[in-house]
Structure 1
Amino acid sequence: MPRIIASLVGAAFVFVLAIALFGTAKTAIQDPAPESAEHVFHLHPENIHLPSNGFFGKFDNQQLQRGFQVYKEVCSACHSLKYVAFRDLTKIGYSEPEVKAIANQWVIEQPNINPETGEPATRKNVPSDHFPSPFANEIAARAANNNALPPDLSLMTKAREDGSNYIHALLTGYRAQPAALVKEFPGSKTPQGLHYNPYFANLNIAMPPPLTSDGQVTYSDGTKATKDQMARDVAAFLTWTAEPNLNARHAAGVAAGIFLLIFCFLAWGAYQNVWRDVKH
């Protein structure tokens, strides 16, 4: 008897769920939700084909160093990189003396306590330190950025869909708001203090265009610093900060693939050897 009751209750639950699902589907078909400005005018980033893409991809250290230069001279004024230490830069081709110099000359110093007075103080960065935040706390960050909180960039390419391409598209995507958008959606005019960018989720972003002109950064390797090039390079650098072991992971994957091929060949040879005298 309890089994019959349980079966009836389960069947009733499934029946009610089916009715609800049918009603939802019917409503969606007969009375679809109106399209929003974000749905109509939002653009998806194009593939910028970084060297690290694909199964056999590898980071280009020269590009990563250019990307770090863009971060240092442009992005670090507002965005932190709290999960990256200065000494990690040796993985992208900087020597230890160069890393020491970068850490020591970094504009933002590390918070510290004066051991003699107990008062707050600062000290120079050392290679083992993580990149310091440009702001003392969230309140200071919002006060300096029109109440918007600049996100940490360490894992940004992992936090956003199509991360590397998204970073490049966002940095190069600032433009005037299309007249067609305001005409079709009168209430969608970009608010005062925000900036129109069709690659941002709601089309309006608080961050002003960080890359304003070609040559904003002077690359030490002589590469021409166009806005597109700077956006590509910093996107590559932030791909590395989010996944610094990508080269090793790809190399391990290739080695595992080769091992499996050899193992399959040996297993096939052993099979043939064991059953060679058996007549079919």
Structure 2
Amino acid sequence: MNASDFVELNKKMGHNILTISNQSWIVRDDKSAISIPSLDNIFPSREELNLLKKRVRYALFKTEVPFFYNSSEFLFVGESYDINLFNSKVRNQIRKGLKSCIIKNPTLIDLYERGLYLNIETLKRHNRSVDYLQNKKKWSSYIEILKNTSDVTIKGAYINDKLIGYIIFIFVNGKYYIYHPFMDKEYSSCYPMNTILYTFINEIITKEGSINISYGLSSFLEKEGLDHFKKGMLFDEVKCTRILLLSDFYSLFINRYVYKIISVLSKFRLLQSKLYDKYVHLYKERTIYYAYLKYISK
């Protein structure tokens, strides 16, 4: 599907879509926004960003500003995903997964019930809340729409006819996006995620000759385990620029004067280190934002 089709799919799934000029954004319940498709490089103008700032608390989008790379996209692009390309540890994980799990397209009933369970348990582990993944009625509608949409493939890992993990793959603008790689933690030693990825990628290569697939951007807060997993599955880190756009109200608190105060408080241990680290991160992101504005004004 192309970008317009993807926007329409997200509308159909119930997401709140805001379109400014030719660029669409998913606006979440907390008034945060993300560009759509989220892994396409976009270059909104200052005027468009000013309009967006009036409608949301903050927004994220991927772009490219030379010498200001603050993120990475995890990509695998290739014509072979042979098991011998992996290191010995990952090879053994995949082999165990292939012996333990059956990889197939899950039924809607399994997705309604076990899929919902996997969503709830996974989000709980990560201290996250996503209503349409945890609310039974919304999840049923969401997954049914995806299940019946072309260019969407859902793969599940089964053990003894029990769905223990699933991944949704959506093909947009020549690239496969990975959504909701969720699994039952009790079966982690069976490596369902490795096995689903290995099976799906090889199916596409066999069918189409090659694949371009993304595992998303690196996290704002480092998640070494997840990044290590992606690299182990042969996803390369490709540098990119991610812009954090803050509303005017929140921007008031991100400046060099507040930064100096925060630094002093941290120095005398009057501020939690985590809060200090978050503020420093936001301050650095602000620098990237100004670099972007300068870049597009050339």
Larger radius of gyration: 1
| TM-score of the pair, normalised by structure 1 | 0.24
Structure-2-length-normalised TM-score: 0.23
